[in-house]
Structure 1
Amino acid sequence: MLFYCGFDTFLQFKQKGGKNNVFLQPLSDLILDQNDKVINAFIGWCSLFLQTGKGQVLYLGYSKCKNPNETGTIIDKNDLVVCSQVPKYIVNIECGAKETFLITIDLDLYKWTGFNFSKTFPTQISLNPDCQNSRDESEEKGSSAINNHVEASQFKVEQLCVGVEYSCLLTDDGRAYLFDITNGLLTTLLTNHKIISIGAGQEHILLLTEDGKVLSYGRGSRGQLGHNNLDNVLDTPAVTIEALDGIKCRSIAAGGWHSLALSETGDVYAWGWNESGQLGLSKDKVTMKATPIPLEISEDDSFMMISAGSRHSMAVSENGILFGWGWNKWGQLGLDPKTIVCCDSPQVIPVDEKVTNICCKFWSSLIETERDNNNV
């Protein structure tokens, strides 16, 4: 089962079939075809994409323009739209504040045009001179160096994260590049390390290496880079976060101006802005932390998943219990915003079934639970 909670002004979720006074809205309520079901969902600031079992992709959200459907009827903003041109085998739909992209199982890249997806690709790679050596210093001398210009056909897109100021593209060979979402230009190789995961916030990018190190790039205005200062990392390759040295991490999450990391032992580390308690600390006592600190939760809780929105955070324990903390003005924690606007310590979010997946973006959250046996 998939549930949505959070910002609803553009989605008008409750008017499309959602239930009043229910903070975790079941996405199955949006499907008119009783023989179909939602198998995946992707969220942005004012957009929601639903992938159904019959291969359809439905779009709900704000659009600047009106568009005629196949019958000539004008589709107005905030209507549930069936996308007519959708590639098969979707891996991810990455929704940014201004642009949205889709990645297929073949690692092809598509761009959202307003009502459908069209295939696109990065135009070129112009590398940062500081990264024009072989990726790993341990590589033997004489091994092929990175060229100044690499054709787009020489790689596939593994991941893409779209931030507000910076976006990042990860190729199938583990290289992470700054990505200009407007013109499709890859401008900077961020590191020589092999990267397995990336994340983007308002002003920063996080990168996770194959050996569990966490790197950061961008602006450090609120300590979100984790280097114990508010300095920017812009003119050099991404920098390893020294406070996490010796801690092998398996997951990262970039919030608006805060960051999370999950260690292999199930510990959560947080740093950056704490204006709404998104670090799990008292917002009245701590405004920010410029270096990672462990999340204070019961020693009995070990975590398997983390996610971060603009000013809220979530984590799932190994036994499927959902925790949330931070900003809840729009109900993005799945709690009643009339009684809880902020949580500055991790709270158990009441969910009937075991939670298996989460995704926080901007002012919203998606929560996936084990299948409801009554609907099998």
Structure 2
Amino acid sequence: MEQVNELKTGQVFVIGTGDAGELGLGTSMLERMRPMPVKALDDKSIANIVCGGMHTMALTKDGKLYSWGCNDEGALGRSGEEYEPGLVENLEDVKITKVACGDSITLALSDNGRLYCWGTFRCASGALGFSPTKERQTTPIIYPYLANEKFVDIAVGTDHCLALSTSGRVYVWGNGQQYQLGRRILERRQRNGLIPETLGLRKIRAIGCGSYHSFAIDHNNRLFVWGLNNYGQCGLDSNVDIITTPTVISTLEGKGAIKSVAGGEHHSLVLMESGHVYSFGRADSSQLGLPKDMVKELSGQDGHASESSFKMAVGTPTLIPDLENVDSIACGGNHGVAATKDGLAFAWGYGSQNELGNGTGCDEETPSKITGQKLEGHKVIRVAAGGHFTVLLATL
């Protein structure tokens, strides 16, 4: 995850479809084609926003969490109204500094490095559980298997978690059916994946997740990846559908320092300190932000892809043209979002649920500027994306 600048706070804007309350605008406003402010948060000094598949977390400057969206499995960490922001419970004396969301699971880090977790994990066959002894956790608790460790970073996929300890070790747990945990989990003992274990990685400085794949960046600027690779979302230009152990994306070496990484359902984005963004993975809905002619050319060289709309993909990290000076990135299920250092926001990819904020409900082949009457005069400082919605944090 990216480091939050604690000095910057702003207003929360939402775009897209929110049948389960993802927009936080109440039960009468479930869809927005252009950015709409979440007025309920206007006086909360929001410093960061993070999306899961169908829920959102907003972190205040003083370390409080507000949540909204689908709460079927306890991912909101509270009771009460789901379609409007509400204060996450059981954190009254805790200052949260980071938060990460999956489909039905949420993680948060406190200022003293303690890891809080709530919700539940699911797998291909249905419910998996919160821990080996508990089906669901509806309010935040310190995850019992990690109570004696302190952490500096967290990341969550659809149903798996990564946590980076102060010593640079990466703990992984949750559903491991696609090797997103970096280890084999026997089908008949899937709950074993709910017990965190460390990977054989050292000196890691940042982590990230796609839906079913995982990332780790070390202090030598190497990006490791593992998990599902059926569309080349691991960026290894390989025909292997599963990457079973952490593997370096060699084609990114020498391209500069990596700032952060983000993943969607089957695509990935890498933000460089230079402000450039590389993309790879599935491309049939323009998830990569690359011109179609470029995708077709690259697909012809990539064993993962063909010109078929069902398997169009780019397996090698590719620079997104004409997208520069980027400061923040996010992946939705099948779309990408970026904010630049001068306060502009861009979106691309699948757009039929209005998640791109382009006012048309159409896909965007390449990064398209997000505009709207409500957003005029604001500078976007953070972006987040869920399954079919996008959230912006903007300041005047």
> Scaled by the length of structure 1, what TM-score is found?
0.76
Unmatched segments (≥5 aa) in structure 1: 124-151
Indicate if the aligned counterparts of 1:122 and 1:184 stay in contact, CA closer than 8 A: no
**Contact map agreement 1:274 1:289 (CA 8 A) in 2:** yes
Counterpart position of 1:225: 234
The 1-side partners of 2:150 and 2:12 are apart by 30
SS for the counterpart of 1:24 is strand
Cα distance in 1 for residues equivalent to 2:81 and 2:117:
21
What value does the CA root-mean-square deviation take over the aligned residues? 3.0
Distance of aligned partners of 1:196 and 1:6 in 2 relative to their CA distance in 1, 3 Å threshold: farther
The verdict on how the C-alpha distance between 1:57 and 1:302 changes in structure 2, with shifts beyond 3 A counting, is closer
Residue of 45, 52, 57 corresponding to 2:53: 45
Q: Deviations over 1:126-182 (max 9, x none)?
A: xxxxxxxxxxxxxxxxxxxxxxxxxx62x3122222213543221112222322376
Larger-Rg structure = 1
Match of 1:241 in 2: 249
Residue deviations 1:36-69 (CA, integer Å, cap 9, x gap): 5545433222223344578754332223389xxx
Q: Structure 1 residue 205: deviation in Å? A: 0.7
Which of 314, 329, 333 aligns to 1:310? It is 333
Compared with structure 1, are the counterparts of its residues 203 and 19 closer, same or farther at alpha carbon in structure 2 (3 Å cutoff)?
A: closer
Asked whether the equivalents of residues 215 and 240 of structure 1 are also in contact (C-alpha less than 8 Å), the reply is: yes
1:176 match: 170
**C-alpha distance in structure 2 between counterparts of 1:345 and 1:309, whole Å:** 15
**CA positional deviation for 1:185:** 1.6
Which residue of 2 is the match for residue 366 of structure 1? 391
Letter in 2 for 1:2: V
Q: CA deviation at 1:96?
A: 1.1
| Cα pair 1:100 1:111 within 8 Å, conserved | yes
Candidates 272, 288, 294, aligned match of 2:319: 294
In structure 2, the CA distance between the partners of 1:85 and 1:178, relative to structure 1 (3 Å rule), is: closer
List gaps (5 residues or longer) in structure 2: 1-10, 120-136, 176-190, 300-311
Counterparts of 1:199-210 in structure 2 under 5 Å?
199-210=208-219
Give the CA deviation at 1:342: 0.7
The 3-state SS of whatever aligns with 2:145 is coil
CA contact (8 A) 1:102 1:112 kept: no
| Aligned twin of 1:128 | none
Q: Name the residue aligned to 2:369.
A: 348
With over 3 angstroms needed to count, the CA separation of the structure-2 counterparts of 1:312 and 1:35, relative to structure 1, is closer
Pick closer, same or farther for the CA change 1:221–1:35 going to 2, 3 Å.
closer
Q: Partner of 1:137 in structure 2?
A: none
Counterparts of 1:14-25 in structure 2, within 5 Å, are 14-15=25-26, 23-25=34-36
Q: Is the 8 A contact 2:330 2:385 kept in 1?
A: yes
In 2, Cα distance between equivalents of 1:20 and 1:229? 39
In the other structure, the counterpart of 1:139 is none
The TM-score with structure 2 as length reference comes to: 0.73
Counterpart of 2:274 in 1: which secondary structure? coil
CA change 1:216–1:17 in 2 (3 A) is same
- Stretches of 4+ moved more than 6 A in 1? none
Task: Measure, in 1, the Cα distance between the counterparts of 2:204 and 2:392.
Answer: 27
Deviation at 1:20, TM superposition (A): 7.3
CA shift digits 1:272-318 (9 cap, x unpaired): 111210111245845100111111116xx332222212111122223
* 2:91 alignment partner, one of 86, 90, 103: 86
Q: 1:356 to 1:76 in 2, by over 3 A?
A: closer
Q: CA deviation at 1:362?
A: 2.9
Is contact 1:5-1:333 (8 Å) kept?
A: yes
1:50-61 equivalent positions in 2, closer than 5 A: 50-51=58-59, 57-61=65-69
Q: Are 1:255 and 2:258 counterparts? A: no
Q: What amino acid maps onto 2:35 in structure 1?
A: L
Counterpart code for 1:24: P
Secondary structure of 2:265's aligned partner = coil
